[in-house]
Structure 1
Amino acid sequence: MKNTFGIPIIPCNDRERVKKLHEYNILDTHSEGSFKHITSLAAHIFKVPIALISFVDSERVWFKANEGMEEVTEIDRGISLCSLSILNDDLTVFTDTLEEPCLLANPLVAGSFGLRFYAAAPLQTADGYNLGSVCIVDKEPRKFTYADQDMLTHLAELVMKELELWKENHKVCNYEIKNRNRFSFE
């Protein structure tokens, strides 16, 4: 994987983290319902053109919900700033990406896309794995207040609650499908 950041982007627990991500069976599913509503709400609250719910897989970052870049469903992990957002348990905020040395070679910042502002709250499981993030993006630098940070953190907590419901609902559906095939109604 190409790393455009010039710093390590693979956490030491990455194998276990990716395994935990795969347990949710969320990757490559349709963008729907509450996840889509959360990205729409985030774009509206923060008045940004782009809001994403991202999951960092082993080689790619996949978007479960996407406001403002609907045609993009995934990006290489070594390019996506969401790869940086899983490295720690706090928010990742770049108020002006051109002031961040690790971002100057990144094609999203240096290229025609022109990413200038990025803020992300990690999607953290109860046992401490950062699976991805809720992030907001702008092509203009901006301030990000403590109230903004608090709101983005709450949105990430909401996504995790929805993700846990998703996981439980899909366990029940899979159980019912498996058992339906076992019984004979003759």
Structure 2
Amino acid sequence: MLDRLKKEQGFTLIEVLAALLIVSITALAFTAYFSNAMTFAKTNQNKTIMSNLARNALVYMQKQDFERLEAYFDSSSATVVRAAEAEQPRRVGITPETFENCTASSSGACAFRDIFEGGNLEPVTAVLSPRVNGIAYRVVIEYQQDLNRAQNAGGALLLPISATVTTAADGAAGPGANAVTVEGYVNAQSIR
């Protein structure tokens, strides 16, 4: 019986070290894979949040007074969100700062505060400057005048707008979640 135990051979130290090396390399590859998967999932989560915030802003704007909103976009007091470029006209809209310092006697963009129900700016401020999961976002409503149709094609009944959501601080939502834009229309009261 002793002879049989002496003849049994186990793994040598080199074989054990080689096996550990192979297992370590495999584990390292899986770690990198799961790390990338977590980053991808976090980025998608933040893009989903930004998309939902943009949709929320569009729904909020669709409930506002159509005529006053149209008058605001056509006025010289409208906030410029994009300056005129070579072949692109200037773009106007509503930013979180548009109605930030309004008082009852303010002029300019503040004269249009009655776009919102009762001139109450708290809800629009909450919609345009939301905070979700500790991250501050910034929503910009942009009037897309170049998408406006002719009056005989229903253009007088629709205001094409878009809502673009970014983070208030660059990179706060993680890599790849820079901005999300959702487009929509504000319908005239006659077709609501």
With the length of structure 2 as denominator, give the TM-score of the two structures. Answer: 0.25
- In terms of fraction of residues, the more helix-rich structure is 2
Greater Cα radius of gyration, structure 1 or 2: 2
